[in-house]
Amino acid sequence: MPTVAELLTPLALCGRVEDQQRRAVLMTGVMADLSWSPWSTPTLHEADPAWGDVQALIVAPSTAPQRAAPRPQPQKAGLWLFVSDQLTELEQGECVEWSWLFGGQEQLLIGMIETNKPLVLRVHRSFYDEAGRQVPEFLRAYDGLLLLGFSARQARALVQRTPSKALLEVVVCAYRQKDELHNPRAYVQKLVQPLKVA
């Protein structure tokens, strides 16, 4: 367990950040690092330019277990996308339609703004259902990849670099044969390798 000084020093540095949302993300990151329990979207605080200075002040407790496993998935389900555009007029919790490049083709996303600094969009099949639209192939492929044991990061990378229709066909095929396959993930990776878009 961290001492009071070990906890307060990095939190005090976070308190100097003027933007309230950035400050909250950084403070949550400090608590997550000290407790080895991610309370926020993984790596969200690490994207902040001030995180390097804050992290240098964090003293890891000597009795803390080593992090052997990767961080868990975000608490809310869906495809999380870090958007490079910093559009501040978008509000957190706002549902938006967004154009995004998946597998070399422009796709329409329906998602919710999870944070606006940095801008993070969460895409989930329920948003399409509520809008009365068909769930797109890229999102169905993403969900299928998760069922086959891919991490959210691996699945997101495959969805962004592989044509959606072809990827969905490979995922469906692998899922149907998963009991016979020794390693469904390797099977999918081998089949999509020649399909990837640069």
Q: Length of the chain, please?
A: 198
Report d(CA 83, CA 120) in Å as an integer: 6
User: Any idea of the CA torsion for 29, 31, 32, 37, to the nearest 10 degrees?
Assistant: -160
Contact 59, 69 (CB under 8 A): no
Alpha carbon separation from 164 to 57, 111, 152, 158 (Å, rounded):
44, 18, 16, 9
Listed in sequence order, the DSSP H helices in the chain are: 4-15, 20-35, 51-57, 125-130, 137-147, 152-161, 164-176, 184-192
108-140 per-position pLDDT tens digit: 889 998 887 778 889 999 999 999 999 999 999
Q: What is the pLDDT of residue 48?
A: 57
Give the chain's count of helices (H) and strands (E).
8, 4
Q: What is the pLDDT of residue 180?
A: 87
Dihedrals phi, psi of 92, to nearest 5 degrees: -65, 135
52-97 per-position pLDDT tens digit: 666 655 655 444 444 444 444 445 788 888 876 656 677 888 888 9
User: Any idea of the CA torsion for 79, 80, 84, 87, to the nearest 10 degrees?
Assistant: 100
